[in-house]
A and B are shown apart, each in its own frame.
Chain A
């Protein structure tokens, strides 16, 4: 089982007859950065929603660390060690950065039903450390809704990290960022991978980002996996070049 840290087999999902994913199969090795690319509407976000249990597949199986998690609820999936960030900014805008992370930590620690102890007394050091790690230490008391776009994306990663995942799904973590911001968040991701000892599954539009960080790349088109390989292989693959790189650049 050591090889198949995470594996998807024949995942099907259609919306009103339209196939969003069609027999998608892929696997991720422990400790690598795995990326998925493909033009808009290729089914990347659907795939992420399927993995995190937000939608249920019509057919196919998802295995994580040898366990079949296909039928698990989103909450159970978080607790098995898969966390995600969202493509769109998806936080609690009227909460401070600290409180945003706190909500995620409470969820991870299964403390949601505790009614007598004050919430603020739980996991203080841990939360501050995490905020520091995503580079928002100065903004701990700023409202999430008032952060810059780049910082909101960082917070997004932070919320996902709070559940201490062994597989971290990042849905376009650099979308809408300037190139300096992109560099910054890439550094953060690399550092976090080392420190948290987690595997990253990344979905991205920006080819530069993909090529600079990935170990393996999977190419998705119209809901089907077209090909996969290392950065070099994908860069030199004529088909990919023709269809995707042409469109993305």
Chain B
């Protein structure tokens, strides 16, 4: 049985974070546009996946509709910049808030459900948005919104990258604090045994609902950052396939760890960039990889660290048990 790790970061963990942050800050000085772009994308996708993992790994739900909030954040950013004269800072706050509002609406239905119902209803919910985006003219229809102008200060690739890294790390630290708070512990307790949480006097439904809104807010931030990065939005951001990607990143990295989604995002995006440079059939490769991942490596990349010897041991124990029984 795996112990639920105490998520309170020790000094060693903080050192790691600071070190990684410093390294990330240096990257632009190497002048590789390719790597800067790639890292921006990794950080953003990692953030989105982390918002999913807040509900998946730490809440025990099956959120297959977070593309809706990613798209909400992205479209809100694009529209606010294009159609209004709001100051840029206000946009940065309102856009994720819009995602949270969408989350609050969908959450009314979704958070009352469990397991497969939760999964397919959340998947359906992002398809509602997908349909709307394609049909409502102001949202740009099938072609999406392109040419979103961002302020002078953030117009270079390096600037967007630095901004993204700072925002992502800030959100990471906030998430970490959240997970260590009573809120985070109850969230994990709900994953383990929701009925028991009710019987100890915490309102599970309300808790799931609030966690859902927080998660959609964070996903909205990721969507917003992605618009700053690409300066365009497309309906495909809201498709359930996108939600599937987020879940896939979480599993790849390891759902039972805090940093897993970031690791998963890095692995997936680097792999994708490499494979698509070789062949057009990335989807086939991805499909086969998912099957192998699910069957042979269910605890993800972070699950491999330090667990391999234990796994081999338990394998032999199991076969011994079979002989006896």
Query: Is B185 within 8 A of A102, CB to CB?
Result: yes
Complex Cα–Cα for A135 and B2 (A): 24
Number of interface residues of A (CB under 8 A): 42
Within 8 A of A (CB), among B28-61: none
Q: Contact flags (1/0) for A106-122 with B, using CB distance below 8 Å?
A: 11101111111111101
Q: Is A68 an interface residue (CB 8 A)?
A: no
Query: Is A92 within 8 A of B181, CB to CB?
Result: no
Query: Is B182 within 8 A of A114, CB to CB?
Result: yes
CB-CB < 8 A to B192: which residues of A?
Answer: 92-95
Complex Cα–Cα for A103 and B2 (A): 19
Query: Is B199 within 8 A of A119, CB to CB?
Result: no
CB-CB < 8 A to B182: which residues of A?
Answer: 106, 111-115, 117, 119, 122
Query: Is A96 within 8 A of B201, CB to CB?
Result: no
B175 to chain A, nearest CB (A): 11
Complex Cα–Cα for A94 and B4 (A): 6
Q: Is B186 an interface residue (CB 8 A)?
A: yes
Complex Cα–Cα for A84 and B180 (A): 27
Q: Is B259 an interface residue (CB 8 A)?
A: no
A74 to chain B, nearest CB (A): 5
Q: Which residue of A lies closest to B187 (CB)?
A: A112
| Cβ-defined partner of A112 (8 Å) among B180, B195, B202 | B202
Given contacts A108-B201, A119-B184, contact A145 B196 (CB under 8 A): no
B300 to chain A, nearest CB (A): 17
Q: Is A28 an interface residue (CB 8 A)?
A: no
Complex Cα–Cα for A73 and B193 (A): 18
B232 to chain A, nearest CB (A): 34
Within 8 A of A (CB), among B195-249: 195-203, 207, 210
A168 to chain B, nearest CB (A): 13
Complex Cα–Cα for A14 and B116 (A): 29
CB-CB < 8 A to A187: which residues of B?
Answer: none
B28 to chain A, nearest CB (A): 33
A213 to chain B, nearest CB (A): 23
Given contacts A95-B189, A118-B8, A119-B180, contact A52 B199 (CB under 8 A): yes
Q: Which residue of A lies closest to B214 (CB)?
A: A115
Q: Which residue of A lies closest to B1 (CB)?
A: A145
CB-CB < 8 A to A36: which residues of B?
Answer: none
Query: Is A146 within 8 A of B1, CB to CB?
Result: yes
CB-CB < 8 A to B2: which residues of A?
Answer: 94
| Cβ-defined partner of A159 (8 Å) among B4, B186, B200, B210 | B200
Query: Is B3 within 8 A of A94, CB to CB?
Result: yes
Query: Is B196 within 8 A of A112, CB to CB?
Result: no
Query: Is A112 within 8 A of B203, CB to CB?
Result: yes
CB-CB < 8 A to B186: which residues of A?
Answer: 103, 106-107, 112
Complex Cα–Cα for A146 and B185 (A): 20
A24 to chain B, nearest CB (A): 21
CB-CB < 8 A to B285: which residues of A?
Answer: none
Q: Which residue of A lies closest to B178 (CB)?
A: A115
Q: Is B183 an interface residue (CB 8 A)?
A: yes
Q: Is B154 an interface residue (CB 8 A)?
A: no
| Cβ-defined partner of B201 (8 Å) among A119, A122, A163 | A163
Complex Cα–Cα for A117 and B198 (A): 22
CB-CB < 8 A to A103: which residues of B?
Answer: 185-186, 189, 197, 200, 202
CB-CB < 8 A to B199: which residues of A?
Answer: 52, 54, 74, 78, 83-84, 86
| Cβ-defined partner of B200 (8 Å) among A99, A113, A119, A162 | A162
Complex Cα–Cα for A2 and B180 (A): 44
Q: Which residue of A lies closest to B207 (CB)?
A: A112
Query: Is A92 within 8 A of B193, CB to CB?
Result: yes
Query: Is A99 within 8 A of B4, CB to CB?
Result: yes
Q: Is A79 an interface residue (CB 8 A)?
A: yes
Complex Cα–Cα for A106 and B188 (A): 13
Q: Is A90 an interface residue (CB 8 A)?
A: yes
Query: Is B8 within 8 A of A78, CB to CB?
Result: no
Query: Is B185 within 8 A of A113, CB to CB?
Result: no
22 contacts between A and B (CB under 8 A): A54-B195, A84-B199, A86-B199, A90-B196, A91-B193, A94-B1, A94-B3, A94-B4, A103-B197, A103-B200, A104-B200, A106-B186, A107-B186, A112-B186, A112-B207, A113-B207, A113-B210, A115-B182, A116-B177, A119-B184, A145-B1, A159-B196
- List 20 other contacts, CB 8 Å, given A74-B198, A86-B196, A143-B1: A73-B203, A75-B198, A78-B199, A79-B201, A90-B193, A94-B4, A94-B192, A95-B4, A95-B189, A103-B189, A103-B197, A104-B201, A107-B186, A112-B202, A114-B182, A115-B178, A115-B181, A116-B177, A117-B181, A146-B1
For the complex of A and B, the 8 pairs showing the least CB-CB separation, nearest first, are A78-B201, A107-B201, A107-B200, A107-B202, A104-B200, A112-B202, A92-B192, A119-B185
Q: Contact residues of B with A, CB < 8 Å? A: 1-4, 6, 8, 177-178, 180-186, 188-189, 192-193, 195-203, 207, 210
